[in-house]
Amino acid sequence: MYNFVICDDNYNTGLYIKNIISGYANNKKLDYNIRLYSNNFEQAIEFTKSNLGHVNVFFVDIVLNDENTTGLSLAKQIRKIDVMAYFIIITSHPELSLKVFNYKLKALDCIFKQEEDIEKRIQECLDTIVSESSRIDNLSYRGQLTIKSVSGIHAINLSDVLYFETRPGCRLIYCILTDQTCIAFRHTMKELVKELDSRFFQCHRSFIINTKYIKKLARNRQCYSVTMEDGKICDVSRSKWKELLSYVRI
């Protein structure tokens, strides 16, 4: 899913950008969603929190009609939430463009509203985003998974993964590798399990395990669990127990 979020206090400009994006996305047959915010820009932050794990692309005007928020400060807040978000900065003030670097946003482009080829510039940005996303997806089909953690991008071999787990009070997912490396990243278990191959089984809402590394299965008074090669005991839901036994042929 591609999420395109436009933050521009000039509604007409925002609508113009929206039409460019929708035309491009329809032509490319993308699965996409577009949000346009011309005020109440905090909604963009809430949208980001609810849509981690997707390809999120933000078109942000540097100058917003908000006494507490500039486009760059808004983008910085979003970057803290979604470290892999794409930013295309839109502005009618070329003299402010250098400030983009001060905010360490890793913006894809900075486009001036007065430019005659603004549509072409936006399409070129979208080409880059779609191309990168496709390459990342292809890694998964070759027995790899690309994880976008808070520290960067990790391309890991699925054969090196022991399990994925969530922990109480935390929205992160933790990937545990055979060498005991732990990588924390933002995603949902529901979407993650779709990206994995047949070695992996979601035995509980908090665990997705690599069945090749199961050391022991245990059942005790209606409590079910598996012990992994590193000694970790993972809970198994009662409803998943028989399916797991059949899955691993034990």
What are 231-237's contacts with CB under 8 Å, separation 24+?
232/162, 232/163, 232/176, 234/163, 234/165, 234/203, 234/204, 234/206, 234/207, 234/209, 235/203, 235/204, 235/206, 235/207, 236/203, 236/204, 236/207, 237/203, 237/204, 237/205
CA–CA gap between residue 232 and residue 225 (Å, rounded): 10
In the 8-state DSSP scheme, what is residue 188? -
User: In whole angstroms, what is the distance from residue 165 CA to residue 167 CA?
Assistant: 7
At 116-137, the pLDDT tens digits run 899 999 999 999 999 988 776 6
CATH classification code of 150-248: 2.40.50.1020
* Fold entry, domain 2-140: Rossmann fold (3.40.50)
Average pLDDT estimate for 78-97: 87
* pTM more than 0.85: no
**pLDDT-derived band at 235, boundaries 50, 70, 90:** very high
Number of Cβ within a 10 Å radius of residue 217 = 16
Select, from the ranges 2-11, 60-69, 82-91, the one with the highest average predicted confidence (pLDDT).
Answer: 2-11
Average pLDDT of the residues in 58-77: 89
Name residues whose C-beta falls within 8 Å of residue 137's C-beta, 6 or more positions apart in sequence.
none
Residue 100 has pLDDT above 50, yes or no: yes
Q: Is the pLDDT of residue 141 over 80?
A: no
Whole-number pLDDT of residue 250: 43
* pLDDT score, position 39: 92
Q: Extract the tokens encoding 133.
A: 């996303």
* Residues 6 or more apart whose Cβ sits within 8 Å of residue 99: 62, 72
DSSP 51-93: -TTSEEEEEEESS-S-TT--HHHHHHHHHHH-TT-EEEEEES-
**Of the listed ranges 79-88, 95-104, 171-180, 221-230, the one predicted with least confidence:** 95-104
pLDDT at residue 67, as a whole number: 74
Given a cut of 90, whether residue 155 has pLDDT beyond it is no
Percentage of the chain lying above the pLDDT 90 cut: 60
Average pLDDT of the segment spanning 6-11: 95
- What residues does each domain of the chain span? 2-140, 150-248
Q: For residue range 217-234, list pLDDT tens digits in order.
A: 998 877 999 999 999 999
The answer to whether 190 and 177 are in contact (CB under 8 A) is no
Higher pLDDT pick, 105 / 227:
227
